[in-house]
Amino acid sequence: MTGGLSIDDLQVVFSTRNGPVEALRGISLELGDGETLGVVGESGSGKSVTAYAITRLLETSGKIVNGRIVYKGSDITRLSESDLRTMRGASISMIFQNPRAALNPIRAIGLQIADAIRAHTAVTAKEARAEALDLLKSVMIRDPEARLDAYPHELSGGMCQRVMIAIAIACRPHLLIADEPTTGLDVTTQKTVMTLLARITAERNMSMILITHDLGLAAQYCDKIVVMENGRIVERGTTRTIFLNPQHPYTRRLVAASPTPTSTIDDLARVAEAEQTTHALSARPAAKPYSITDGAILLQIRNLTKRYSSNIIAVNDVSFDIPVGGSVGLVGESGSGKTTVSRMISRLIEPSDGKIIFDSKDIGAIPARVFHSVAERRDIQLVFQDPDGSLNPRFSVFDCIADPLRKLEKLRNGKELRERVRETAARAGLADNLLSRFPHQLSGGQKARVGIARAISIRPRLLVLDEPTAALDVSVQAIILNLLDRLRREDNMAFLFVSHDLNVVRMMCERVVVMRLGKVEEIGGSSLFGNPQSPYTRSLLDAIPHFDPNGQQIKALPKANEYSR
């Protein structure tokens, strides 16, 4: 069979209340049999729209206005609805970002896989079940016989994604489109899922389009890469040329902004500066050195424990210190208890046991319900993960930032409050004209800045940051990390930086606490990244995808004997 997929000058327009929006402005690409193509770009670049256009699953407001998508000799843009149904699943299938949402919660997974098989081939329920079992085995689910009758909520996120892969390959498609398949999964899970995908596509000689915002991931698993910006392909080439010799300024910026095992905050600062020139906001002041007073401890955590009922222990006997002006990273996979620790320290929930000693006062003994009225509330502030969900949709930016000033510094409306809000906003890089806007009128990066401005407005001494950049594009992440680093120097704030991204923690923190299953696995300085003592820390570090010019790509592993049934 000749020719895989070929897209020629594809244009997609969405009609919105503000008139038509061009989502794809004429993209062309080729994908041969058995190839893996990475589509990278930031949010809004049109990479997902490309995937939906190929499967003709665009929302009703999106229309293909021009171009051809030729797959195996036929033009998908002209297929009838019934031909499309035959095509979807049987020759092209898709894997989505959130596997839990893509699976039907009230149907056993064996039945859901069987549904996919029976939609395209006439087999009995019994035969379909047997095939589903085979598929579960091939996606390497442990104890597949028992899992056939399991429901999605009984499986972990990584397991759900494997089930999705099983459904996607059920009818032996030739092209698999994976739209951010591992976003939201832990790095170690990401590694197993991606390795599985690479193996399956290699075994079955399938081609794959991997859509991702993570350059490292694309580098590790793709033969060719296209970089998209604003609905256009700005650069294309083999993985090697894109990473070693990026031509387009946008690609260069992306590559520079992606944290690598060796990048430092100063590398990111350069990216941030390049982006900020367009904002013409605060010029970067001369970096003030960190002033960590030796020995002065701001926060002592001793034997901190959180039990939810008699047998669920979320956090088990955790102890560590944060020095005045110091920065401690708290890393671990989902379920490791890192967020629970940060919420106990911020006094939003009660610890079951142990001490939280802030400035030689045990604030763990103060009930969370009344903590809003004690003096330490001012000293410990939070920056939340999801910039969308952490801003009150009914507050303007001004009110968001003014809120802690009103409550904790008892400032009344007036000149002083306005001055403080404006000053804080400027420090966080928010222009004056944004102050009257509402959260839904801001970009992701601007929302993150508002969240930071709100937290620093009352000059806390400890800032607890819960995955502050997890939801942001890499170039925005670079700017935000740089901003946080600068604010920390200026105010001599201490950071508790909770993150699953070890590269980010390495850049931001002097000390790292690695947590696993509620316990501290390892504590160390930044040298820990070069020489981890615990095998768990090592596995976390190894799982981070990155471009290694000398390393072998997973895809190039020897092909296992052709899968046959």
Partner 1 sequence: MSSTLSHAVWVLRGNTITTCAIFGVFCLCIFALFAPWLTPFNPLATDVANALQPPNARHVFGTDQLGRDILSRLILATRLDLIIAASAVVLSFAIGSLIGSFCGYLGGWIDRIVGRIVDVIMAFPLFVLAMAMVAVLGNSVQNIIIATAFINLPIYIRFARAEVNVKRDMGWVEAARASGHSDLSVTVRYLLPNIMPAMTVQISLNLGWAIINAAGLSFLGLGVVAPTPEWGIMVAEGARFITAGQWWLVAFPGLALMLTVLCFNLMGDGLRDILDPRMRT
Q: Which is nearer to partner 1, 125 or 349 (CB)?
A: 349
State the Cα–Cα distance between residues 28 and 67, nearest whole angstrom: 9
Q: Which is nearer to partner 1, 484 or 541 (CB)?
A: 484
Q: How far is the CB of 370 from partner 1 (least distance, A)?
A: 8
Q: Which is nearer to partner 1, 273 or 388 (CB)?
A: 388
Q: Which is nearer to partner 1, 299 or 408 (CB)?
A: 408
Q: How far is the CB of 446 from partner 1 (least distance, A)?
A: 15
Six-digit token pair at 452? 């930071």
Q: What is the DSSP letter of 247?
A: -
* Residue pair 51/94 in contact by the 8 Å Cβ criterion: yes
Q: How far is the CB of 375 from partner 1 (least distance, A)?
A: 11
List phi, psi (to 5°) of 305: -140, 140
Q: How far is the CB of 151 from partner 1 (least distance, A)?
A: 23
Three-state DSSP at 134 gives helix
Give alpha helix (H) positions in 60-143: 81-90, 99-102, 109-120, 125-138
Going across the sheet that includes 519-525, the strands are 380-383, 462-466, 494-499, 327-331, 511-516, 519-525
Q: What is the DSSP letter of 290?
A: P
Q: How far is the CB of 394 from partner 1 (least distance, A)?
A: 5
Place of tokens 């763990």: 364
State the Cα–Cα distance between residues 261 and 398, nearest whole angstrom: 38
Q: How far is the CB of 382 from partner 1 (least distance, A)?
A: 5
Six-digit token pair at 338? 């890192």
Q: Which is nearer to partner 1, 454 or 516 (CB)?
A: 454
3-state helix vs strand vs coil in the chain, percent to 5: 40, 25, 35
Q: Which is nearer to partner 1, 385 or 499 (CB)?
A: 385
Q: Which is nearer to partner 1, 5 or 298 (CB)?
A: 298
Place of tokens 């979807």: 88
List phi, psi (to 5°) of 562: -55, 130
How many degrees, rounded to 5, is the angle at CA 169 between CA 58 and CA 35?
80
Q: Which is nearer to partner 1, 384 or 398 (CB)?
A: 384
State the Cα–Cα distance between residues 4 and 50, nearest whole angstrom: 16
Q: Which is nearer to partner 1, 368 or 517 (CB)?
A: 368
Q: How far is the CB of 173 from partner 1 (least distance, A)?
A: 37
Place of tokens 């759900």: 160
Binding site for partner 1 (CB under 8 A): 17-18, 343, 346, 348, 369, 372-373, 377-378, 380-382, 384-386, 389-394, 403-404, 407-408, 438, 440-441, 451, 454-455
- Backbone region of residue 205 per phi and psi (left: phi > 0; alpha: psi in -120 to 50; beta: other values): left
Q: What is the DSSP letter of 419?
A: H
State the Cα–Cα distance between residues 382 and 451, nearest whole angstrom: 9
CB atoms under 10 Å from CB of 73, counted, come to 9
Listed residue (376, 379, 397, 377) closest to 387, CA to CA: 397
Q: Which is nearer to partner 1, 142 or 369 (CB)?
A: 369
Q: Which is nearer to partner 1, 191 or 447 (CB)?
A: 447
CB atoms under 10 Å from CB of 403, counted, come to 15
Q: How far is the CB of 395 from partner 1 (least distance, A)?
A: 8
Q: Which is nearer to partner 1, 52 or 438 (CB)?
A: 438
Q: Which is nearer to partner 1, 233 or 402 (CB)?
A: 402
Q: How far is the CB of 356 from partner 1 (least distance, A)?
A: 15
* Residue pair 546/474 in contact by the 8 Å Cβ criterion: no
List phi, psi (to 5°) of 204: -100, 5
Q: How far is the CB of 405 from partner 1 (least distance, A)?
A: 9
List phi, psi (to 5°) of 272: -60, -40
Instruction: Annotate 144-178 with three-state secondary structure.
Output: HHHHCCCCHHHCCHHHHHHHHHHHHCCCCCCEEEE
Q: How far is the CB of 289 from partner 1 (least distance, A)?
A: 29
Q: How far is the CB of 357 from partner 1 (least distance, A)?
A: 20
Q: How far is the CB of 424 from partner 1 (least distance, A)?
A: 13
